[in-house]
Structure 1
Amino acid sequence: MAPLKSLEKEYPVIDSNFQSFCARHGIFTVQDFLLHDLYVLAAFAQQHPSSSSDHLKQGITQMLSIVDEQYHKPWVNGVQLLDDFQRNKHVLSTGIHEIDSLLQGGFREGQLNEIAGPSSSGKTQVCLQVAASVATKCIGSVVYVDTGNSFSSQRIRHFVSRISGPTFNQERDLTIQKVMSGILCHSVFDIFAMFDVLHQLQSSLRSQVDRADQNVRLLVVDSLSSLITPILGGGGSQGHALMTYTGFLLKKLANEHNLAVLVTNHMVGGDGGHLKPALGESWKSIPHVRLLLSRDLQSNICNISILKHSYLASGKAGRFTLDD
């Protein structure tokens, strides 16, 4: 992350006075600033004489704008899209035939994928099935960030048994043990705890020995919206900046380390009472792939459709049955 001093030339309000003020609160980089409680920081700024206080608050506002400018940049042109497609050729099967067929193979490494859907639509079950499929069929591991105590080792075991097919008990147990050891689950309950996990993962991926069986192939965050929605309330700028930074960090992990990222999102009321994915207009441009999941009433039949895809047409849909 850029040190504050490097911003001074382009943004004069980030001057030595503002930098000194931030340093007194342990803020030396853009990331330090973003992870600080800005309400507390603004309160400290308010304690300064009027002219100095106004200047410090202008600096805080400018820093939030910088976060948006730096971490919310869409693809610029088709050449970059083509380059991204060509560099990330591996596709990870979801373990659900109908979804793989819809997506021409599954989730592409190097991309951020989102599944949005109402409560009880099957989002978590799909995440668990994808994690089991990747850990069983691929050489590598899965990092699973659980934000609502919904991770189920029993469901993973069930899916692995189904994937493995008819085998002797001892062989099946060895497969299950190997798969379970390759799924690393972290329970987090606020966005800052998730940042800690993601930064640790980033550090680990950069320093790990180059062995295929140590490579992370899939990162799951179920549910991302449950962490972000609480910080978007109140109309403040920090929540939006944190959401933008989250998207940047997830896409950076996917791109730099060629892993697939899968996040889930809930639904909220939209115009005319129609449901729409949460997190607003700013978020919807961030994922490479957005899928909408729904479930027939009192049934295990699910409907899934493409809301957005980097190279497939929106509106394509499929149906599948959730595994019992």
Structure 2
Amino acid sequence: MEDKYPLIDSNFQDFCGSCGIFTVEDFLIHDLNALIPFAGKQPNSERLKQGIDQVLSIVDGLHRPWLNGVELLKDAQEHKQTLSLAYEGIDPLLNGALREGFVTELVCLQATASVAKGYAGHIVFIDSGNSFSAPRIAQILNQISHASSIQDNNEALHILMENIWCYPVFDIFSLFDVLHQLELKLKSQMCSVRLLIVDSFSSLIIPILGGNGPYGHALMISAGNLLKKIAHEYSISVLVTNHMVAGENGSTKPALGESWKSCWESNKVQDL
């Protein structure tokens, strides 16, 4: 590697090791605001900072290889089911449903309630903006319930609400932590998850995009790839929200714009 990337030499690797960084993933989830000042205190500080920039540039330039469209279509048709939201205003936009193995951007509480009611398995709700409302989800569930009595309805509601897991996160690093914990559970078959919601992904990404150069973009790409990996490998529907901001001539546009869009173009994604 040193022949191709001379800045990533043994001294740089030793520096990373002293910070607990041994893999690219360790590097991406490490707090750059702490790493760069620490590098500045070292004897070869400028070279270390250049090494950090080089690693970020390498990660930013990585793209998953092109995949055969026939194979992707066959995989989707044979192995990926759909999760209907049973919601007239949304289902037509999604061609009827959320699809396992894909990432979808949408508003989430209706999806949480509908999937909890209609499908076995857990729903993981990653909440970055204090938007999760258990009373509202319970209200939606009650509206679509067909229980014959109040007691039956309460028992069914209790079971359904137990299958909804909510994890509050406040920055991109806590998002990575939750996703890695979830992946470990899925690998060990400790749980069965049908739907993973990140609400709102944009509020976690925007603070690290401004002023951080390629670092923020690399973190966004890494988080997007991890979501796609979880969706595809474990046949989970992943639903992501992205808020809107003002665009040209009074129009609105997605907050993460083309940078976020490019993250999905090389993979199977259901984007709204």
* TM-score, scaled relative to structure 1: 0.76
Of the three residues 40, 50, 56, the one matched with 1:58 is: 50
Shift of 1:9: 6.3
Distance in 1 between residues matched to 2:238 and 2:222, nearest whole Å? 15
Shift of 1:87: 4.8
Distance in 1 between residues matched to 2:230 and 2:172, nearest whole Å? 17
Matching residue of 2:19: 25
Matching residue of 2:91: 100
CA, structure 1 residues 168+223, in 2 after alignment: closer, same or farther (shift >3 Å)? same
| Structure 2 unaligned residues grouped into runs of 5+ | none
> Which deviates more, 81-90 or 187-196?
81-90
More strand by share: 1
Of the three residues 194, 198, 202, the one matched with 2:175 is: 194
CA, structure 1 residues 39+158, in 2 after alignment: closer, same or farther (shift >3 Å)? closer
> Which deviates more, 93-102 or 191-200?
93-102
CA, structure 1 residues 88+19, in 2 after alignment: closer, same or farther (shift >3 Å)? same
Q: Is the 8 A contact 1:268 1:278 kept in 2?
A: yes
Shift of 1:228: 0.9
CA, structure 1 residues 65+76, in 2 after alignment: closer, same or farther (shift >3 Å)? farther
Shift of 1:239: 1.1
Of the three residues 92, 96, 100, the one matched with 1:109 is: 100
CA, structure 1 residues 280+193, in 2 after alignment: closer, same or farther (shift >3 Å)? same
CA, structure 1 residues 189+112, in 2 after alignment: closer, same or farther (shift >3 Å)? same
Of the three residues 39, 50, 55, the one matched with 2:33 is: 39
Shift of 1:150: 1.5
| Structure 1 unaligned residues grouped into runs of 5+ | 1-6, 116-122, 292-324
* TM-score, scaled relative to structure 2: 0.90
Shift of 1:285: 2.9
Q: Is the 8 A contact 1:88 1:108 kept in 2?
A: no
Matching residue of 1:11: 5
Q: Is the 8 A contact 1:88 1:110 kept in 2?
A: no
Q: Is the 8 A contact 1:269 1:275 kept in 2?
A: yes
- TM-superposition CA deviations, 1:5-34 (whole Å, max 9, x none): xx5565343221110111112111111111
Distance in 2 between residues matched to 1:165 and 1:190, nearest whole Å? 40
Distance in 1 between residues matched to 2:168 and 2:243, nearest whole Å? 19
Matched, 1:157 2:157: no
RCO higher in 1 or 2 (8 Å CA, sep ≥ 6)? Answer: 2
Shift of 1:263: 0.8
Q: Percent identity?
A: 55
Matching residue of 1:273: 250
Shift of 1:68: 1.9
| SS at 1:290 equivalent | coil
The alignment of Structure 1 onto Structure 2 pairs a total of residues equal to 268
Letter of the structure 2 residue corresponding to residue 67 of structure 1 = V
Letter of the structure 1 residue corresponding to residue 87 of structure 2 = I
Provide the alpha-carbon RMSD of the alignment.
Answer: 2.1
| SS at 1:43 equivalent | helix
